[in-house]
Amino acid sequence: MTDLIRLAWAIAAKDLRVEMRSRTAIVSAVFFAALVLAIFNFARAPGTVSQAMLAPSVLWVTFTFAAMLTFNRAFALERENAALDGLLVAPIPRGALFLGKYVANLGFVFTVEAVSFPLFVLFFNVSLGDALPSLLLVTGLATVGFVAVGTVFSAMVVRTRFADLLLPLLFLPFLVPPVIGAVQVTTRLLDGRPLSEVWGWLRLLAAYDVVFLTVCAMVFPAILDE
């Protein structure tokens, strides 16, 4: 078990180090998020739809779309110079490979979220009140699950002909439960409602995380079999 975690961490650290040296993906994703936020400010009828009404939906569309941009990177990197073959012949259990890629992806998505959230507060004139800790909790709960699904799908589509098109096509249906839940909770929290009011949604998000992390870890080895 400790071996598994050690190996997974080695893979995740490798991915993060590669990214830290080039910074292409993360910088693009952050600016993509900023652009989406800016454009959404104008994608409404001024005067009839207030910024505050639109804010939670915009936040989650931005988070999830920016996340989707970073997923392809995880395995596109390994395709160059057949680096994936090297990983596969290395004495690493497939489970550790999944966990490593998953943790790296999670790191990316959390970084993008951490950078775009202050921009969101700024652009949309959001008054956080004391909702910040609860918002962080919800963001974590929603993100942990869909990144697992994204990791599995990106490992798959990167070896197909239309990776950029297939990933959203396969992945978007899986965003339905986390996005609906996260938007509902965010709306209520920004309205100053207590966390206890959204208990049902939080349980749904947590169940999604548990189920999809488990299932994704179980099916992931099947993708890499030769």
Partner 1 sequence: MTPQAQAATATIRRGLLLSGIALVGVVLVYALALFNTPTEIRQGLAQKIFYIHVPAAIGALIAFSLVGLVSGVYLWLRDPRLDLFAHASAEVGVVFSVVMLTTGPLWGKPIWGTWWTWDARLTLTLFLFFLFVGYLALRSAVPEPAERARYSAVVGILGLFLVPFVHLSVYLFRTLHPQPVLLKPSAPSMPPEMLRTLLISMGVFTLLYAGFVMTRYGLAILAESTGDSDAD
User: Closest separation between CB of residue 57 and partner 1, Å?
Assistant: 13
14 or 193: CB nearest partner 1: 193
Name the amino acid, one letter, at 211.
V
> Which C-beta is closer to partner 1: that of 16 or that of 170?
170
Residue 181 Cβ vs partner 1, minimum distance, rounded to whole Å? 6
Query: Whole-number minimum distance, CB 163 to partner 1, in Å?
Result: 9
**For partner 1, which is the closer residue by CB, 58 or 213?**
213
- Token readout for 4 is 């598994």
Cβ burial of 121 (10 Å; 0-12, 13-18, 19+) is middle
**Minimum Å distance from CB 206 to partner 1?**
12
As given in the structure block, the two tokens for residue 179 are 């996005």
Task: Calculate the dihedral angle through the C-alpha atoms of 134, 140, 141, 144, rounding to the nearest 10 degrees.
Answer: 180
* CA 103-108-111 angle, 5° bins: 120
Give the N- to C-terminal CA distance of the chain in Å, as an integer: 25
- Any idea what the Cα angle at residue 70 is, between residues 154 and 73, rounded to 5°? 60
User: What is the binding site for partner 1 (CB under 8 A)?
Assistant: 149, 152, 156-157, 159-162, 165-166, 169-170, 172-174, 176-177, 180-181, 184, 200-201, 204, 207-208, 211-212, 215-216, 219, 222-223, 225
Q: Which is nearer to partner 1, 49 or 215 (CB)?
A: 215
- Tell me the closest approach of the beta carbon of residue 149 to partner 1, in angstroms: 7
Nearest-approach distance from CB 162 to partner 1, in angstroms: 5
Helix 199-224 vs helix 163-190: crossing angle, to nearest 10: 160
Nearer residue to partner 1 within complex by CB, 5 or 49: 49
Which one, 7 or 183, has the nearer CB to partner 1?
183
The greatest distance separating any two alpha carbons of the chain, rounded to the nearest whole angstrom, comes to: 61
CB neighbour list of residue 2: distance below 8 Å, 6 or more residues apart = none
Q: Distance between CA atoms of 41 and 38, rounded to whole angstroms?
A: 5
